[in-house]
Amino acid sequence: MNSLVPEIDAWGPGPGAGFTALLRRDLLLAWRRRGEVANPLVFFAMITALIPVAVGPDPLLLARLAPGMVWIMALLGTLLAADTLFREDYADGALESLVLSPQPLWFLVLARVVAHWLVTGVPITLLSPLLATLLSLPSSGLWALVIGLALGTFAFSLLGAIGGALTVALGSGNVLRPLLVLPFYVPVLIFGTGAVTRAVSGGESAGPLALLGVIVALALLVSPFAAAAALRVGIDG
């Protein structure tokens, strides 16, 4: 039956459309400046090379330090990259149109976080077995390291979004953002390194990894909402 009135979708595109649109835009932008996106990875690799120089090339000592060192470097790498999470959009005004759009802001924040994780956390995770081997980590710990980092870097991105949103209006080049979020990284670091240490010593690493999953789930519940609230505060003020 043909109606004279054209069918109008009164509800507009659903939240899923906004999510995928933002995700695609962010990934496309990242792809177009691949060199810049690769910087955290280069940082990650360079610091790895500095550790044996600093503490000496003894393989036994390096193997003991490796789980903690790789985790700390992954943390610093994602922290470094989190600076671009909201700042550029704030500077060119795109953030305001995101806030004003009829899409739920927390869902858009989540899309941004997922894009950030895909661009920084996942490559760091994929690179980590190589660098851990350079630091003579026994191969029995590699799986725990990779699974832990995949979960942990996602938690870092989620928590980093809160810090990025809180400091978005403060102008670039301030060191405040890391100060705000680093305390929240402590549990992730504990369970992440705990899993690797256990796996290396022949124990069961599923427990710490499951707890890491719990932290990711909690961060998923809290962080998009907190970051969205902080973005609104930053834009109002």
Partner 1 sequence: MARSGALWQRLHRWASPPGFYRLSTRWLPWLGAASLALLVLGAIWGLLYAPPDARQGHSYRIIYLHVPSAFLALAGYYVMAVAGAIHLIWRVKLADMVMSAAAPLGAALTFLALFSGALWGKPTWGTYWVWDARITSMLVLLFLYLGVMALRQAYSSRETAGRACAVLALVGTVNIPIIYKSVDWWYSLHQPATIRLTAAPSMHPDMFKPLLVMILAFYVFYAWVLVLNTRAEILSRERRAAWVGELAEERVS
- Subset of residues 141 to 160 that bind partner 1, contact rule: CB under 8 A: none
| CA atoms of 156 and 217, how far apart (whole Å) | 12
Nearer to partner 1, 63 or 134 (CB): 63
| CA atoms of 86 and 80, how far apart (whole Å) | 13
Nearer to partner 1, 147 or 188 (CB): 188
Q: Please, what's the b/e burial string for 44-75 (b: 16 or more CB within 10 A of its CB; e: otherwise)?
A: bbebbeebbeeeeeeeeebbbbbbebbbbbbb
- The secondary structure of residue 140, as a DSSP letter, is G
Half-sphere exposure of 34 (CA within 13 A, CB side): 2
Question: Which H or E element spans position 114?
Answer: helix 105-116
Binders of partner 1: how many residues, by CB under 8 A? 31
Q: State the minimum distance, in angstroms, from the CB of residue 7 to partner 1.
A: 41
Show the site string, 162-201: x = touches partner 1 by CB under 8 A, - = not.
x---xx-xx---x-x--xx-xxx-xx--xx--x--xx---
Show the site string, 199-228: x = touches partner 1 by CB under 8 A, - = not.
------------x---x--x---xx--x--
Q: Please, what's the b/e burial string for 20-36 (b: 16 or more CB within 10 A of its CB; e: otherwise)?
A: eebbeebeeebeeeeee
Nearer to partner 1, 81 or 161 (CB): 161
Nearer to partner 1, 108 or 228 (CB): 228
Q: State the minimum distance, in angstroms, from the CB of residue 77 to partner 1.
A: 21
Q: Which of 231, 24, 229 is nearest to 115 (CA)?
A: 24
CA angle 192, 194, 199 (to 5 degrees): 105
Q: State the minimum distance, in angstroms, from the CB of residue 179 to partner 1.
A: 5
Nearer to partner 1, 17 or 218 (CB): 218
Q: State the minimum distance, in angstroms, from the CB of residue 66 to partner 1.
A: 16
Interface residues with partner 1 (CB under 8 A) are 162, 166-167, 169-170, 174, 176, 179-180, 182-184, 186-187, 190-191, 194, 197-198, 211, 215, 218, 222-223, 226, 229-230, 233-234, 236-237
